[in-house]
A and B are shown apart, each in its own frame.
Chain A
């Protein structure tokens, strides 16, 4: 609601108006918050000096949830209430979650709209709520470090995240009270972290191998503009596969079969330890002392050569995906100038060797692969809130997965192809197939496959109120709009009659606006006593901010850009807000803020056009 407080293009905020903004890497195993201070991006520690916040939340009866290391300590003794790896559940339906959750000790329950909920001692929790609890801690850490309220945050997501997963991430931030400046793709963030520190130009490949996912992005950097050319990867490939390959090999060596869950976990932990040790030494023993419930079998020796042979088939998959993504960008390996390594699994020496072989140049590893994403996000956040004077950095991203519609026979017709630059809008026309048909269902899907069942269902739209006509006479235009966060919005209208068909949107997963509002309210009930007072104060501050901004804008441009009637309308609504602000009903203030904001929408849009016109008139286009 910072109406009209923005600087005009080319201008920057004055130093004393420096705004607090952070970048947040909301990771599967751990999360980080970073900011830019004195021109340097840095991750922020907690009060004990730790930077990585384990992405673990433990729910307790009648107490606030524990987040991070404290929660991590209870992973074994309070498994059902201690939620790990919630990122893998974001934006997923109950079916996916049940499958993914097989190795997870949680009890899932479907709520009315099919969204999966986790059963905890503190009640049902959705993955969005769990993520919000993590985000809240990170935002608090940011505010404590910076000593002020955050204007907003850039939150990173894997490039392959689909619309539902992105929307869920944004919902979590909203629930945590964080203004999302932008959802940024993790590989893009990493490129920014390297790019700005080193002033590089050219083509960059970002090789991001995490615990369970592999992401590859190809970007071109020129004059501060980072343009994503293509993205690809494998959402089921990562360092965990290394551990499994080692564990399977050990079982073969010792003819071990039928491990139970805790034995399996123990073996995987040993495998991981051995894998990490082999980055330093040439051979190590996998020790089985303390293997739960089994008399101790002999140690197994693993050397680097054997490790490489176990890792190579997995790395080869990642390299294949890399080559494909380069082809999508129309490039060969030789045309890549820099390779950036992201994700803990790129610490494995073998991964670095094979990547260096493919590109015939050593990859960049100078920034901690665990932190590089958060650092890049912090850079972007700093630019977005206008802290960078004269900063020209701009990130141009692409749609990671194609968007399409269900057609006859359960087939998907693509409407927007993957790797299309965003924001993007496309319209598609439909017609009726029966005389007098007044409604139709449009099914929106995301993915590369041809069959509906192989793609992710994003939403079903029911178009009602189509005027009855002969079959094929009605023409319904459905418009897809993808914004800079990669989020989709769909609208529809009937063209032949000019009648707008009403549209009913039901998200297949994710939350509706009302659900978010309800959850935000519910989260306030923890502090029921001062909830009303806090809301009132917040709304009063918001009202003052809006009133002041509009007053300034009216003084500057009111007479020039608005008719007398339009000015009067705005003044009337301002007066109404001043009256509401003086009362003690925060709902009334919220309502009037909305009314006033709507009343000034058109003014804002004219001011923007006007300021851009002036900015363009003021300089030669070459200097923009």
Chain B
């Protein structure tokens, strides 16, 4: 197992934003079957250490390949870019306004009479936006427009964060 290869190659996948998720899941299971430390439970310390290193790498790679956001970031990193560098903060004004509106909605949401319906509505909207941005990223990346792709990734990260917060809010409100 060559841990210096890129994650896509380790999973026999082409380096692209579109990923065959079924193939990814199957391949991950196969690799775990071979390299998991459980397969070396009565082996030497050295072998167990190697197994832990390899499966740590696999879990990391799998996490990146499975998540559209992390996958997109990783693809740009392979291009030598740093899409999430702290200095990299400029965003289009209309997107920022939209973000503020969404945040306001989320803050007021707990007071609404039909909390559950409101939550579902917001979650659906976020999902649509997430999917749309994924599409935009794929086009930009395939056309080698990496600067544009970088802007899309940052938008995607905003939406991803809102989705997480929406989930957390759902947890708090429905408990």
Contact = CB atoms under 8 A, between A and B. Distances in A.
A454 interface: no
Contacts of B174: 323
Contacts of A320: 175
Interface in A14-45: 19
Interface in A126-170: 151-152
Nearest to A485: B37
Contact of A597 (B41, B44, B167): B44
Nearest to B31: A624
Contacts of A324: 171, 175
B38 interface: yes
A612 B34 contact: yes
Contacts of A327: 167, 170-171
Nearest to A222: B29
B41 A423 contact: no
B44 A384 contact: no
Interface residues of A, number: 51
A471 interface: no
Interface string A406-443: 00000000000000111111000000000000000000
B30 A621 contact: yes
Contact of A151 (B36, B37, B42): B42
Given A392-B33, A423-B56, A423-B59, A182 B44 contact: no
A327 B163 CA distance: 13
B117 interface: no
A622 B51 CA distance: 21
A537 B47 CA distance: 27
Contacts, number: 111
Contacts of A602: 46
Given A396-B32, A425-B60, A9 B39 contact: yes
Most B C-beta atoms less than 10 A away, residue of A423, A484, A601: A423
Contacts of B157: none
B96 interface: no
A506 to B, nearest CB: 23
Given A425-B56, A601-B44, A608 B50 contact: yes
Q: How would you classify the secondary structure of chain A's contact residues: helix, strand, loop or mixed?
A: mixed
Nearest to A602: B46
A25 B58 CA distance: 30
Contacts of A383: 38
A425 B45 CA distance: 18
Given A223-B29, A608-B43, A608-B47, A615 B34 contact: yes
A554 interface: no
Interface residues of B, number: 37
B127 to A, nearest CB: 13
Contact of B38 (A6, A384, A424, A425): A384
A395 interface: yes
Q: How would you classify the secondary structure of chain B's contact residues: helix, strand, loop or mixed?
A: helix
A385 interface: yes
Contact of A395 (B1, B38, B51): B38
A481 B48 CA distance: 13
B43 to A, nearest CB: 5
B66 to A, nearest CB: 11
A181 interface: yes
Contact of A604 (B29, B46, B57, B171): B46
Nearest to B30: A624
Contact of A6 (B36, B42, B170): B42
A152 B42 contact: yes
A421 B41 contact: no
A424 B46 contact: no
A383 B34 CA distance: 14
14 contacts: A5-B42, A225-B33, A323-B174, A327-B170, A384-B42, A386-B42, A424-B60, A483-B37, A484-B38, A605-B47, A608-B51, A609-B1, A615-B34, A624-B34
The 5 closest A-B pairs by CB, nearest first: A384-B41, A425-B56, A601-B46, A484-B37, A423-B56
Interface of A: 1-6, 9, 19, 151-152, 181-182, 222-223, 225, 320, 323-324, 327, 383-386, 392, 394-396, 420-425, 481-484, 597, 600-602, 604-605, 608-609, 612, 615-616, 621-622, 624
